[in-house]
Structure 1
């Protein structure tokens, strides 16, 4: 079994120091680095602490050596594709969600609308409506009465009313009264 701490940490945009500070109780960046590289044994206690800090299931920190995983081999920058010093594992979008939080939702795009193309999958993370301020100016999905949904850029939150600007050209603002949840887009998966 190999540990995937470094891959998950990098996928979440955290430094060694960020992860060390997020552990409860906090630890050092050097300790996290040793656990990532295998220089220090990854005990069950450490797995639970690090998984909680990364907001993933502890089991997702380990991968059987026999299973092949997709690899990130280069990064694209303005100067072109740059090779990594060592490849790292690419994570599935479902592995990036909070371990004890609600599972992500996926919105499938069937027709071109705004910047979205047919076949796109928009991954969304459910939020409590009270946390709507963190989703301002981001694409969101909201439930509406009668089993319908509204999707668009969250532009306003006043009391129980939430305003969305749909992605299509010329569409009017949609206002949803007291939605049960708000799901904010966090990843776009597009087949080429």
Structure 2
């Protein structure tokens, strides 16, 4: 049976050894499960799904096509603009995320180009540690309040570093949600 174990492991930026530790097995076993060299039982699917933060059904079958709400645009200095042109409210595509949201890049910012679309995986605040060191959309008090590299400070508070060189980093209270970028769509 073909599975999507490798796809989701890579999406979560885990090595085979890291996933193996979470599941309580070896990297060699994870490799065999990913390549269908070993039968994937329902017990394995449940363990792997739990370790990857998924439902077991997501590890088998075809990718789902999603209608993803577009929550706004990013301008210079990582400033968020909730206004969208008519027809830009949703994107339809396969999303490598459990709770996907999308952003359109309005102006060149850091490594991102005007016209890029970012797909991010919205996480509750208790899972903010999963987003550390990644480019993220952060929402505080009901409005998206920024975009940038999400880092932790020495005192345990969070810092958002915009992607533009020299832009001012901001300390953040606990976010309502945080969404690390999992996919970049760039039209060439």
The alignment's TM-score, normalised by the length of structure 1, stands at: 0.57
Q: 2:4 aligns to what?
A: 4
Distance in 1, Cα, partners of 2:157 & 2:16: 40
Secondary structure, counterpart of 1:184 in structure 2:
strand
Structure 1 portions without partners, runs of 5+: 68-91
Secondary structure, counterpart of 1:105 in structure 2:
strand
Deviation at 1:173, TM superposition (A): 4.9
CA contact (8 A) 2:137 2:179 kept: yes
Deviation at 1:142, TM superposition (A): 2.6
Q: 2:42 aligns to what?
A: 44
CA contact (8 A) 1:124 1:184 kept: yes
The within-5 A match list for 1:57-72 is 57-63=55-61
Query: Which deviates the most, 180-189 or 149-158?
Result: 149-158
Q: 2:107 aligns to what?
A: 111
Secondary structure, counterpart of 2:145 in structure 1:
strand
Distance in 1, Cα, partners of 2:40 & 2:130: 38
Distance in 1, Cα, partners of 2:111 & 2:165: 10
Distance in 1, Cα, partners of 2:50 & 2:59: 11
Query: Which deviates the most, 107-116 or 35-44?
Result: 35-44
- In structure 2, relative to structure 1, the CA distance for the partners of 1:145 and 1:132 (3 Å cut) is same
Distance in 1, Cα, partners of 2:151 & 2:104: 22
Q: How many residues align?
A: 158
Distance in 2, Cα, partners of 1:17 & 1:177: 34
Please state if 1:54 is matched with 2:55. no
The within-5 A match list for 1:37-186 is 37-63=35-61, 94-95=95-96, 97=97, 103-125=99-121, 126=123, 128=125, 131=128, 135=132, 138-144=134-140, 147=143, 149-154=145-150, 163-168=159-164, 172-174=168-170, 176-177=172-173, 179-186=175-182
Structure 2 portions without partners, runs of 5+: 64-92
Deviation at 1:109, TM superposition (A): 1.0
Secondary structure, counterpart of 2:39 in structure 1:
coil
Q: 1:32 aligns to what?
A: 30
Q: 2:76 aligns to what?
A: none
Structure showing greater radius of gyration is 1
Q: Runs of 4 or more off by more than 6 Å in structure 1?
A: 158-161
- In structure 2, relative to structure 1, the CA distance for the partners of 1:128 and 1:13 (3 Å cut) is closer
